Amino acid sequence: MTAFLRRHWLLLVFLAAGVTLRVLAWLAYQPALLYIDSYRYLFNIEDLRPDGLDPLGYTFVLKFLLEFGGLAFVEAVQHAVGVALAVALYALALRHGVRHWLAALVAAVVLLDGYQLQIETNIMSEIWFQALLVGMLWVLLARGEPNWWRAGVAGLLLGAAVITRTIGITAVLPLVLYLIVAGGAWRTRAGWKRIATRGTAGVLGLVIVLVSYAGYYRVAAGEWKLTGASSHVLYGRTAVVADCSQLPLDETLRLFCPEEPLGERLGVDHYTHGVFGKAGWPGPLPPGADKGALANEFARTVLLHQPLDVAGAVLRDFVKNFGPVKTTAPNDVPADRWHFQTDYPLFSGSLPDGGRMLADDTAEFFDGESTSVNEDLAAFLRTYQLGGGYLPGPLLALAGLLGLAGAAGIGHARRSGLRSATLLPTATGLILLFGAASFEFSWRYQLPALVLLPIGGAIGLTALLGRGKSPAPAPRREKLADFPDDTDAAAMTDFRSRYGDLPLAPLTVVIAAYNEAKGIGQVLRDMPGDCGGLPVSVLVVVDGATDDTAAIAEQGGAYVCVAPRNRGQGAALRLGYHLAAESGARYIVTTDADGQYDNGELPLLVKPLLDSSADFVTGSRRLGSEQADSRIRWLGVRVFAALATVLTRQRITDTSFGFRAMGADLATSVTLREPQYQSSELLLGVLARGARVLEVPLSMRLRNNGASKKGRSLRYGANYARVMTGTWLREYVLRRRTRAGRAARTS
C-alpha cells in the first residue's frame, strides 16, 4: 500500500479535489442544471423521435437512468463518469511510459476544469460522448497493435458516439488512419493483410451502428438520416458570410438572404436557431416547396461561390479554442451559458406539442420537487471557475502541437513506437474542434478536446524525449491446427514409448493439468475405480507444466501424457480425447485437476450415457449447488447460459461446467480449435451435430488450492463470449450453409 501511495500520490490529490468539486456542484444545484437542449432530450424519452436537432444516443441513456432515479441521480452518475474518465486516461498514459506526474496532469484536466464540471452538472450529452471516445482510445491503444475484433469494438463505440453527438462522424478519418499506421503494418505486404482485416472490422462496426440507427430513423420519420439538424446547421454557417449581391440566386432562394447587411450580420447561432426556427420565415414559398431543402440549396450556392469566405470563418472559430481567456467574442454563443451562476439559470425549452416548459416544471415532473440553488456553494464554484479553474487555451494548443510532433516522428519519437498512439487522440481532438467550428464556435464544443489533446500531448512529449514504450501486446493463443499437430504427435509418441499399447478402460476420465502439483493428488485419490459396472481409467494430460504435476499424477495411479509446451486447457483436452479413443475408451469423462468437482457424483453423470438416454451429459451448478468465489463469474454463468439458449434454441443453464461425459466417437468428431476457452466450443459443437444433450444437477466447490489460471474475470468473459459467438457462427451458420450448398449441387 505504501508503494502504491508513493507512486500515485499526485493523482490521489487531484482525485480528492475533483471528487470534492463534484460533490459541491451536486449539492449546489438541485436536482440538476437544465439547458435548452435538456428539454429536447427529456421530453422525447417516451416517443423517441429521431428527427429532432439531437440524435437519440443520450436520450436512450436518460431513459435507462431515469428508471432508477430522478435528475439528481442522472447528474450523480455523470459526475462519476467524469471521475472514471480521468482515472482511465491516467492509466492509459502510464501504459505508454508517461511519467506518473505527467499522467496525473492529464487526469487533472478532466478532474479540475470548471467547464467540464459545469457540463457534467447539466442534463447534457457531452460527458457520455467523451466516455465513448475514451472507450475507443482504450480499446485500440491499451494493448499494442490492435487486432480485428478490437478494431470492430472501436467502430461500434465510435458509432455510438455519432448517435450521441453527430459531430463524432468527423472522427472516422483519424480512426481509419490509425488502423492503417498502427504497429507499422503498412511497411510489409503481410501487414497490409492485417490492415485490411482490422480496417474492415472497424468500418463494419461503425456501419452496423449507423445503418441500424438510420433504419430506425427511416421507420419513424420516413427518411434515411441520422439527424434532422443538417438544414439548420449548414444554413446558419453560410448565412453569416453570404454576399447575396454576388450570388446567382433565384427569387425563391433570395428569401433566405439575411436581412442584415453583410458587415452587420449576427452570429451563426442566431441564424441556425433564431431565424430558421421562426414561424413564417422566410416568407411565402412556392406550393410544395420544402424549407429545409431550399435552405440546403442556398447554403450549397454560398459554398460554391464563396468557399474562401466560409473557410476563413471556420478557421477563425477554430483558432478561438486556443485563446488564453474564455470570453465571449462578438456574435458568439455567450460564454456565461457555461458558467456556474449564483441563482438557478432558467432556460425554457420546447415540448413535442409546441408548448414551452420551464426548469421548475421539469424538475417537479421528473423529481417531484422544484429547482433550488445553494447560493454559497454556487458562489464558490463560480469564483473557482472564473478565477482560472480551467485549462487555458495556449496549454491546450501546446498539447496539440506536442501530439502532432510525436505523431510526425520528430527526433527520438521516430523510433519510440508511440507515433500511432500519439496520432489517434491528437488527430481526433483536433478534427472534432475543427468540425465543431465548421458549425459554430462555443466553449461547450471545446470539451471533447479536454479528454483527447492532453493525453495525445503527454504521449507525444514522452516519445520526443525517447522515454516511452509501447504497451505490451495482449497474450495471444493461436487457433489449434488439425489434430494431430506437432505438439500432439510428440506427446503421443512419448506416451506410447512409456505405456506401449496398454489399453485404457472403457470409461476413461480425462484431466487437463497445468502446474497442479498441489491439487492433482487429492483428485486422483477421490476417483472411484469403477462406475456403472465399468472399470475406470484416469488419463492426465500435463500441458507443459513446470512443476511435479506429471510425477504426482503417475504416483496417484493415472496414465500421464506430457505435452512438451503449454498451449491451454482446450488443447490438452482435445489431445486427451483422441488418445483415450485410440487406446480403447468407449466413454470419456472430463473433470478438473483443482478439486472443484465431486468425483462421488460420477455415477449420476454417466448413468444417462450408459443407459443410452443421452449422447452428451454435463453437470449444472445452477440445477445443483455452487460455492461461488466471484460475483462476476456468478453473473457470467447466467449470462452465457442465456446467450447459448438463444443461439442454439435449446434451454441451457450452465455452459462452462467442466464435469462432463460423452461417447469417445462424439468427442473426437467435434471441431475443436480453441486452445483455452474450449468449454462452450465443445458444447455448441455437440449440439450442432444433433447430439442428445442432457444437464444433470451436480455440485461445484471452491478450488482445493491455489488460484484460477483463467485470468481476470472480465477478460475471461470477453474471450468466452468471443469463442461462443464464433463457434455458433462456424457450426450453425457457415457449416450448415456449406452443407446446404453441397446438397443443392448434388441434387
CA dihedral 515, 520, 521, 524 (to 10 degrees): -150
Structure confidence by residue, pLDDT tens digits, 212-245: 999 999 998 888 888 876 657 789 999 999 999 9
pLDDT per residue over 432-476, tens digit each?
A: 999 999 989 999 999 999 999 999 999 999 999 988 777 766 555
Per-residue confidence (pLDDT) for residue 355, from 0 to 100:
53
In the 3-class helix/strand/coil scheme, how is 629-678 assigned residue by residue?
A: CCHHHHHHHHHHHHHHHHHHCCCCCCCCCCCEEEEHHHHHHCCCCCCCCC
pLDDT (mean) for 5-10: 90
- Flag the least confident range among 45-59, 540-554, 636-650: 636-650
Average pLDDT of the chain?
89
Q: Which domains does the chain have, with CATH numbers?
A: 2-150+335-464 (no CATH), 230-320 (no CATH), 486-739 (3.90.550.10)
Q: Which three cell numbers stand for residue 585?
A: 475408451
> How far, in Å, CA of 747 to CA of 733, rounded?
21
Residue 166 has a pLDDT of 93
pLDDT level of residue 79 (50, 70, 90 thresholds) = very high
* DSSP state, residue 336: G
Q: In terms of pTM, does the model score above 0.75?
A: no
Average pLDDT for 344-368 = 69
Assess whether pLDDT exceeds 60 at residue 100: yes
**pLDDT number for residue 714:** 62
452 near 429, Cβ under 8 Å?
Answer: yes
Separation CA 285–CA 218 (nearest Å)? 26
Query: For residue range 705-724, what is the model confidence (pLDDT) as tens digits?
Result: 555 555 445 667 777 877 88
Written as one letter, the residue type at 584 is: G
> Which position has the grid cell 488419463?
539
Residue 357's DSSP bridge partners are 349
**Secondary structure letter of residue 369 according to DSSP:** S
Count the helices and strands in the chain (H runs, E runs). 30, 12
pLDDT score, position 744: 45
How many other C-beta atoms lie within 10 A of the C-beta of residue 376? 11
pLDDT level of residue 279 (50, 70, 90 thresholds): confident
Position 627 scores a pLDDT of 76
Looking at residue 231, what is its pLDDT?
59
Alpha-carbon dihedral 302, 303, 309, 314, rounded to 10 degrees: 120
Gap between the Cα atoms of 539 and 511, Å rounded = 6
Which of 72-86, 277-291, 511-525, 623-637 shows the lowest per-residue confidence on average (mean pLDDT)?
623-637
Q: In the structure, what pLDDT confidence band is assigned to residue 595 with cuts at 50, 70 and 90?
A: confident
The residue whose grid cell reads 507512486 is 7
Our CA angle for 47, 49, 51, nearest 5°, is: 165
Look at residue 725 in the predicted model and tell me its pLDDT.
Answer: 84
Express each pLDDT in 681-700 by its tens digit.
Answer: 999 999 998 999 999 999 98
pLDDT tier, 168 (very low <50, low <70, confident <90, very high otherwise): very high
Lowest mean pLDDT among 54-68, 120-134, 155-169, 457-471: 457-471
For residues 596 and 593, what is the distance between their CA atoms, to the nearest angstrom?
8
Lowest model confidence (mean pLDDT) among 54-58, 131-135, 284-288, 376-380: 284-288
Residue 357 pLDDT greater than 70, yes or no: no
| Higher-confidence position of 633 and 465 | 465
What mean pLDDT comes out for the span 639-654? 88
Q: What is the mean pLDDT of residues 331-351?
A: 84
Distance CA 656, CA 660 (A): 10
CA angle 229, 230, 234 (to 5 degrees): 120
Residue 647 has pLDDT above 90, yes or no: no
Least confident of 52-61, 470-479, 580-589, 675-684: 470-479
Does residue 401 surpass a pLDDT of 90?
yes
Sign of the alpha-carbon torsion through 325, 331, 333, 336? positive
